[in-house]
Chains A and B, each alone.
Chain A
Amino acid sequence: MIDRTHPPKTSPLPPFKLPGVFETRLSNGLQVLLVEDRRFPLVAARLGFEAGSKLDPPEMAGLSESTGALLTEGTERRSARQIAEDVASLGAVLHADSNSDALVIAASALSENLPALIELMADVSRAAVFADEEVALRKQNRAQELLAQRSEAAFLADEKFAQVVYGPHPYSRQDPTLESIERLDRAAFLGFRDRWLVPNNAVLVLMGALPEPAATLELIERHWGGWQNVPIGEFKPPCPPEPRRCAELVDRPGSVQADIRIGRLAVTRAHPDYLPLLVANTILGGGASSRLFTNVREKQGYAYDVHSSLAPLKGAGTIAAVTQVRNEVLEPAIRSVMAEMRRIASEPVSAAELATAVNYLSGTFVMRLETLEGVAGQLVNIRLLGLPLDYLETYTTRLRAVTAAQVRDAAARYLRPDDASIVLVGDASRIHETRILETDL
């Protein structure tokens, strides 16, 4: 008979070894990572550039993002329609996405079509034409999409929070504006592409049912070998301001509740405090057994969504608590969130909480390795962020080494309500940011 009264005992998770990575570099500087994995008749490819929105000129926010979007809208050899039809015929997906740090061309296809996929990827990475009618359409649709995004409270809150925390640093501009979209033109796209989308600023990852490395490399060499490298200028952004307590209100008339961000500057992935702070963030607000969830949502009932998030960009990172609450409980909810921030920064977490958080982070990490796209995406990120290649292999071991004292110390350095910025999005006729600032929180 089984014992139903207690959770079953389980054996430890068997160690998991990532498939081997074959690594090389073309003479033009292009880094190449090949990973063979024959579970599915698929290949996943990533061509990543350190060319994210941080490199947009200040008056042209959205340049990187729209450059990426237009890479697949026509090349010297293919019309936009031809690209779309070729993608469908190969059983492929192909898109180029940009975030703060990187622009990544992501593709996958049925593995029998690898040669055609490489040819197509090389074409869009090197020979996009940014035709006037495609540029005009992109601008028009991005402007409409931006209007739709701006109707969402969460978007407005994230936008304002980045502005407050990053100040003059380009990470403050994570999205375009209607004005900056208007300024984008063909010359700007070509300029951005030719300056940043170059082999010596790129990492190529191919993963899946690949032919042997020599044959794959021959294919890569054929399509990217003649790609010219260019000197890359140094990126020296202005520093973000020192964290300080402030409250900013974004008016959203008609809002039935307030969307809240409470946070500040934190660390990058390469910083020694990163893993302890990641664990602290998980215990504070990472999921349904976190303190914010159990206290602010389950016990006090102030909010449906209350969590915290760590955003480690390459040059700087942030940590913030995020919640949405009814206007009537705004102040007690903020006070409650801040009390949890203070508590984790002053008392060591329990052994059980620490184990839960570490297991959670390790488990979710393993789960992201189920798909080819998941592993390929992690590998390209690691390279673009300048992290060591064994980052994935050693991740769970390093995580398990984090101590309760390290968690408290990291929390004490970055989860500091007294110099946290508070961003509120809500109906200004019902919320007063000055009152929040004057309230003893």
Chain B
Amino acid sequence: MSIPFERHKLPNGLRLLLAPDRTVPVLTLYIIYGVGARAEERGRTGFAHLFEHMMFQGSANAPKGTHFQLVESSGGAPNGSTHPDYTDYFEVLPSNQLALGLWLESDRMRSLSITQENLDNQKEAVKQERRLSFDNQPYATAIVDHWPELAFRNWQNAHSLIGSFEDLEAATVDDVARFFRTYYAPNNAVLVISGDFEPAEARKLVEDYFGDIPPQPQPAPPDLSEPPRTEPQTAVFQDRLAQVPALIVAWPGPPRRSADYNALIMLDLVLTGGESSRFHQRLVKERQSVIQFEANLGWPFAGPTDYKDPGLYAMMLLYNPDFTGEQIRQQVEEEIAAIQRDGIGEAELARTRTYLRSSRIRQLQSSQNRAILLGKYELIDGHPEYANTELDEIAAVSAESIRDAARRYCDPSRRVMLDIVPAEAAQ
């Protein structure tokens, strides 16, 4: 299955992808900006996310409240999210509302309302979000605040992505205006429209709405380089809200789009993809030591589609308290060692390829997922065609390559580990 799409670029640098599919009267308008939490400056942690909130505070012609009101009143669903390397916004809309979506997105790219009142209000909203979604949730503090510090040495990668209350307080209107000018320029964005629309008409509308927004100097990418890891590292976090212990284990991952990147995606599926995976069969079912697990190239803030090096192949396992974190670590590494030693068989490889392919087809049923995939690959790789070609490349990885990637990357001497234990049990 492939996604047909057109690729254009406006004179001001805005990249445009059009992926029509006229079967259901729904479309997605997706805009992705090349800035995320890893571009934040010291003393301004959480700024990318705070800025994402500011994007919903109104613009010159669409005052505060208009965005949600208009999108929702036409039956759409707006949203935005902040990631380590990008920030994205989308509207899923009934297909008669394309112009509305373009009007809203272009108005805020052109003329966002950056005022002290909006900023103060959104600082409070972000603090409240932090209390609700992080400070009051088991595992969340460990994952969001402590894990990056353990996993990375370079501050750009290691700082809390949601940010501290102190840094949020310190953010000024000038900071917001500068960030907007630098990063929210047309030449730092990709616009994707997918679903039910007519491409020529959509292209004309995009040119009308976005064409005269001035470009800005291309921002320098942050220096994300990490010193190489030479020894394993372990920490324990006492979680006062958790009832069940959990272990995070990770290894530094390969460069994006390298042969080993494809091989590690397959390795991860063999280990953790679905109920036929080795972790499910061996750790959950046979040993009964692990209760639940999740893993990804780029976990916890990214997956293979938006993994960007430096990053980690990481996993989190909720485990049976009759075991220790150290025992779980051993069991995980035994499963990996089996692949490093014996590789994987043909039947298992064939099954994993089918799993990969069918999961992708299922995912691409929605216009939103098609838009997100195309937009990410244009922004991160400059090559949206990966959305149609990468499955063949990943599925072509041989059993030997998977074994070799496991040997190269899942190396105990470069392992990072965080054991999250319920605070009461530790006392």
Interface residues of A (CB under 8 A from B): 2, 4-8, 10-14, 16, 39-42, 72, 80-81, 83-85, 87-93, 108-110, 137, 140-141, 144-145, 147-148, 150-153, 254-257, 287-289, 294, 297-298, 301, 303-305, 324, 326, 352, 355-356, 359-364, 366-367, 369-373
Query: Given A148-B243, A257-B136, A11–B96 Cβ distance below 8 Å?
Result: yes
Closest CB in chain B relative to A170 CB, distance in Å: 27
- Asked if B94 and A366 sit within 8 Å, CB to CB, the answer is yes
Contact with A along B116-142 (1 / 0, CB 8 A): 000001001100110111011110000
- The interface stretch among B272-280, B375-383, B384-392 is B272-280
- Asked if A81 and B285 sit within 8 Å, CB to CB, the answer is yes
B273 proximity list for chain A (CB < 8 A): 88
A90 proximity list for chain B (CB < 8 A): 354, 358
- Asked if B70 and A7 sit within 8 Å, CB to CB, the answer is yes
- Asked if B244 and A147 sit within 8 Å, CB to CB, the answer is yes
A364 proximity list for chain B (CB < 8 A): 75, 77
What is the predominant secondary structure among interface residues of chain A facing chain B? mixed
Q: Please name the residue on chain A nearest to B322 by beta carbon.
A: A140
B275 proximity list for chain A (CB < 8 A): 72, 83-84, 87-88
Most-contacted residue by chain A among B138, B209, B244 (CB, 10 A): B244
Q: Out of A80, A89, A137, A301, which one reaches B288, CB within 8 Å? A: A137
Indicate if B61 sits at the interface (CB-CB under 8 A).
yes
Query: Given A10-B97, A13-B25, A88-B351, A151–B361 Cβ distance below 8 Å?
Result: no
- Asked if A85 and B72 sit within 8 Å, CB to CB, the answer is no
Docked complex Cα distance between A7 and B100 (Å): 6
- Asked if B61 and A89 sit within 8 Å, CB to CB, the answer is no
Closest CB in chain A relative to B131 CB, distance in Å: 6
A12 proximity list for chain B (CB < 8 A): 96
Closest CB in chain B relative to A106 CB, distance in Å: 12
Query: Given A137-B288, A360-B75, A289–B365 Cβ distance below 8 Å?
Result: no
20 residue pairs of the A-B complex, CB under 8 angstroms, read A4-B61, A12-B96, A13-B96, A14-B25, A42-B362, A88-B273, A88-B352, A137-B284, A140-B320, A145-B291, A152-B138, A301-B128, A304-B128, A359-B75, A366-B75, A366-B94, A367-B92, A369-B24, A370-B367, A372-B365
- Asked if A89 and B75 sit within 8 Å, CB to CB, the answer is no
Docked complex Cα distance between A15 and B69 (Å): 23
Closest CB in chain A relative to B73 CB, distance in Å: 4
Closest CB in chain A relative to B343 CB, distance in Å: 18
- Asked if B75 and A141 sit within 8 Å, CB to CB, the answer is no
- Asked if A304 and B365 sit within 8 Å, CB to CB, the answer is no
- Asked if B78 and A148 sit within 8 Å, CB to CB, the answer is no
Indicate if B172 sits at the interface (CB-CB under 8 A).
no
Query: Given A89-B350, A363-B74, A363-B75, A2–B365 Cβ distance below 8 Å?
Result: no
Q: Please name the residue on chain A nearest to B280 by beta carbon.
A: A84
B74 proximity list for chain A (CB < 8 A): 10, 359, 363
Closest CB in chain B relative to A282 CB, distance in Å: 9
Q: Please name the residue on chain A nearest to B64 by beta carbon.
A: A298
- Asked if B121 and A301 sit within 8 Å, CB to CB, the answer is yes
Closest CB in chain B relative to A156 CB, distance in Å: 12
- Asked if A6 and B61 sit within 8 Å, CB to CB, the answer is yes
- Asked if A85 and B276 sit within 8 Å, CB to CB, the answer is yes
Query: Given A87-B276, A91-B354, A110-B361, A304–B129 Cβ distance below 8 Å?
Result: yes
Docked complex Cα distance between A294 and B365 (Å): 33
Q: Out of B61, B107, B241, which one reaches A254, CB within 8 Å? A: B241
Query: Given A87-B274, A144-B318, A370-B365, A8–B103 Cβ distance below 8 Å?
Result: yes
Docked complex Cα distance between A368 and B131 (Å): 31
Docked complex Cα distance between A356 and B76 (Å): 11
- Asked if A371 and B136 sit within 8 Å, CB to CB, the answer is no
- Asked if A2 and B208 sit within 8 Å, CB to CB, the answer is yes
